[in-house]
Amino acid sequence: KGTVSRNFIEQIIDQDLKEGKYDQICTRFPPEPNGYLHIGHAKSILLNYGIAKEYGGKFNLRFDDTNPMKERSEFVESIQRDVAWLGADWEGRLFFASNYFDQMYEAAEKLIRKGKAFVCDLSAEEIREYRGTLTEPGKESPYRNRSVEENLDLFRRMRAGEFPDGSKVLRAKIDMASPNINMRDPVIYRIARMTHHNTGDKWCIYPMYDFAHPIEDAIEGVTHSLCTLEFEDHRPLYNWVVTELEYPHPPKQIEFAKLYLTNVVTGKRYIKKLVENGTVDGWDDPRLVTIAALRRRGYTPESIRKFVELAGISKANSSTDYAMLEYCIRDDLKLKAPRMMAVLDPIRLVIDNYPEGQTEELEASNNPENEALGTRKIPFSRELFIERNDFMEEPPRKYFRLFPGNEVRLMHAYFVKCVGFEKDENGKVTVVHCTYDPASRGGNSPDGRKVKGTIHWVNAATAGKVTVRLYENLIDETKGVYNEDGSMNINPDSLEILENCRVEPALMQAKGYDSFQFIRNGFFCADAKLSAEGAPVFGRIVSLKSSFRL
């Protein structure tokens, strides 16, 4: 903040405050409880929360639960958990739109009494036909001129359950010739016998989104109702509703662009499909970008806040590179995460001149860039594990790790020189033999001798054996996310499970959500769903290499 010019939303609010339109700012995040929140929602949450904080105003969390069809209590809980985790504190201001059904009903009667709404008997299909097109004006409904008394009577009987589902609707009486199709006598109430998660069977009529949403905002005293661009065309209707209902300080709708990630599935509908067809192991599968998935993967609220800030607020749709999200978590964990040694694809290394049966403890800094994380002791002895690809029998040019005759540094330990190796009957290397230089303890030789390679290792006798999961994009990037028929291009290799990894003993105590840098291998997080006490399963959050530059 302070480094960039104020975004267009702040400019509108500044102007409104200057003109005395509102005393205190109030924003809201209005999720429909029909799925888990994703990274796009994080943008909306942090924008609304951030604006409220910035202006010393209020931030409401409101469940937009006016459509009982797809809504479930499971989602009401997950959404609260995710919003809280992101740090958007609603300070007790938790609301349910369904608690306003009485007021919405009253508002509808008010419109009827003003001659601004009528009960229409046209079928859904007829309404669509009568509505016209972009180039053709609509046609008025034959029921448009019913009297106020008749409309009131019919609407009350709709509520009383006298008519079958879909047989009648309440429509706003606006303008069938409007160039904006949303203004052509839109439906504002429908008959639908559905059990609601909050109000049960109390209602058999339900308000439509475009009618309900402005009322919800007005009831709560929301001043600036921030929504995404697809609602821009609905704004005249939003304004019509709050004007006709004569709210003293009507809220104002402002649209901003949705956050999209290139080659990543963000839409709730599509994520749901992947969950239901078993492509992923739930809404929190670490390859997804739901908030729950990002949390399980090892993303922090700070990293997501930073990402949303970098992505910025705009009025034009665009797509953000996933690499920017990765940049943000690397940047956040760089100083926070202890740097430990883990060998993902182990091969045995024997130090021939190290005394058998002896173990010593070496001191290692937990994070050389952040001394506050302290130091730890690492056991060292004659037999170690190193990464299989840190040894080559016949090295190519510029290979500086172990090969016969070459000397490298074992991180935090000693210089070792390769003196031989063993193979099994298939020609696969099974053991690498080295000798060590006792004078190089700590990783430097007193004679000033230099080595080009430094490799990580773990002590064979004390290492823990763990499963490590490596992730790639769920989507086949060469083909893009969606096909014309709505199917997705799934990358068959998005999950690699390594079951034979060896880690420093200290890592065996890791708990779900604990994150580490595994030196040279990336940032990893103990998977909260798969780890057990004393038996952590680690998943890679992100590799260390980055193509993204700020």
C-alpha span between 145 and 123 (Å, rounded): 17
- 309 contributes a contact to ligand ATP by CB under 6 A: no
Is 64 annotated in a binding site? The answer is yes
Q: How far is the CB of 262 from Mg ion (least distance, A)?
A: 20
- Does 213 bind ligand ATP (CB under 6 A)? Our answer is no
Q: Which is nearer to Mg ion, 41 or 268 (CB)?
A: 268
Helix, strand, coil distribution of the chain in percent, nearest 5: 30, 25, 45
Handedness of CA 32, 38, 42, 43 (dihedral sign): negative
Q: Report angle CA 465, 471, 472 to the nearest 5 degrees.
A: 155
Residue whose C-beta lies closest to ligand ATP: 40
Nearer to ligand ATP, 43 or 409 (CB): 43
Number of residues that bind Mg ion (CB under 5 A): 2
Nearer to Mg ion, 268 or 296 (CB): 268
| Sign of the CA dihedral running 503, 505, 510, 515 | negative
Please report how close the Cβ of residue 389 comes to ligand ATP at its closest, in angstroms. 40
209 assigned ligand-binding residue: yes
The amino acid sitting at 402 is: L
Tokens 């994080």: give the residue.
42
Query: How buried is residue 282: exposed, middle or buried, by Cβ count under 10 Å (0-12/13-18/19+)?
Result: middle
The answer to the question of residue 268 lying near Mg ion (CB under 5 A) is: yes
> Using CA atoms, how far apart are residues 400 and 391, in angstroms rounded to an integer?
10
**What is the identity of the amino acid at 248?**
P
Q: At its nearest, how many Å lie between ligand ATP and the CB of residue 30?
A: 6
- Residue 401: name its binding partner from ligand ATP, Mg ion, none (Cβ under 5 to 8 Å by kind): none
Measured from the CB atom, the residue of 143 and 209 that comes closer to Mg ion is: 209
Q: How far is it, in rounded angstroms, from Cα 9 to Cα 254?
A: 7
Between β-strands 26-29 and 58-63, what pairing exists: parallel, antiparallel or unpaired?
Answer: parallel
Residue closer to Mg ion, measured from CB, 196 or 268? 268
Contact range with ligand ATP by CB under 6 A, out of 25-33, 53-61, 124-132, 380-388:
25-33
Candidates 9, 36, 44, 291; binder of ligand ATP (CB under 6 A) is 44
Question: Contact between 158 and ligand ATP (CB under 6 A)?
Answer: no
Contact pattern from residue 22 through residue 51 relative to Mg ion, giving x for each residue in contact according to CB under 5 A and a dash for the rest: ----------x-------------------
Token digits of residue 330: 């690397």
Q: Least distance from C-beta 269 to ligand ATP, angstroms?
A: 6
Q: Is 30 near ligand ATP (CB under 6 A)?
A: yes
Instruction: Between 31 and 539, name the residue whose CB sits nearer to ligand ATP.
Output: 31
Contact partner at residue 266 from Mg ion, ligand ATP, none, CB < 5 to 8 Å by partner kind: ligand ATP
433 is in an annotated binding site: no
Q: Applying CB under 6 A, does 325 fall inside the site for ligand ATP?
A: no
Instruction: Give the residue among 293, 498, 508 at the shortest CA–CA distance from 379.
Output: 508
Tell me: does residue 251 bind ligand ATP (CB under 6 A).
Answer: no
Task: In whole angstroms, give the CA distance from residue 142 to residue 139.
Answer: 9
HEC letters along 380-442? EECEEEEEHHHECCCCCCCCCCECCCCEEEECCCCEEEEEEEEECCCCCEEEEEEEECHHHCC
Cross-strand partners of 349? 384, 432
* Residue 522 is a binding residue for ligand ATP (CB under 6 A): no
Gap between the Cα atoms of 220 and 247, Å rounded: 11
Instruction: Select the span of 50-58, 170-178, 244-252, 259-267 touching ligand ATP (CB under 6 A).
Output: 259-267
Three-state secondary structure call for residue 501: strand
* Sign of the torsion formed by the C-alpha atoms of 47, 48, 53 and 55: positive
68 marked among binding-site residues:
no
Residue given tokens 């059990």 in the structure block:
195
Q: How far is the CB of 257 from ligand ATP (least distance, A)?
A: 8
| Residue 41 partner contact from ligand ATP, Mg ion, none using kind-dependent CB cut-offs of 5 to 8 Å | ligand ATP
Nearer to ligand ATP, 43 or 412 (CB): 43
Q: Which of residues 222-241 bind ligand ATP (CB under 6 A)?
A: 227-228
Among 25, 40, 65, 111, the residue binding ligand ATP under the rule CB under 6 A is 40
Taking CB under 6 A as the criterion, the residue among 66, 266, 440, 531 binding ligand ATP is: 266
Q: Which does 258 bind (CB under 5 to 8 A by kind): ligand ATP, Mg ion, none?
A: ligand ATP
The Cβ of residue 280 has, within 10 Å, a number of other Cβ atoms equal to 22
Kindly provide the b/e burial profile for residues 519-545, where b requires at least 16 CB atoms within 10 angstroms of the residue's own CB: bbbbbbbbbbebbeeeebbbbbbbeee
Nearer to ligand ATP, 21 or 269 (CB): 269
d(CA 206, CA 159): 9
Residue of the chain from 267, 282, 379, 453 that contacts ligand ATP (CB under 6 A)? 267
Note whether 297 binds Mg ion by CB under 5 A: no
* Binds ligand ATP (CB under 6 A): choice among 43, 168, 171, 196: 43
Map residue 468 onto helix, strand or coil. strand
By CB under 5 A, name the binding residues for Mg ion: 32, 268
Residue numbering of the annotated binding site: 32-34, 38-44, 64, 209, 228
| Residues near ligand ATP (CB under 6 A) | 30-32, 40-41, 43-44, 227-228, 258-259, 266-269
Q: Which residues are annotated as a binding site for ATP?
A: 32-34, 38-44, 228
Task: Write out the binding residues for L-glutamine.
Answer: 64, 209
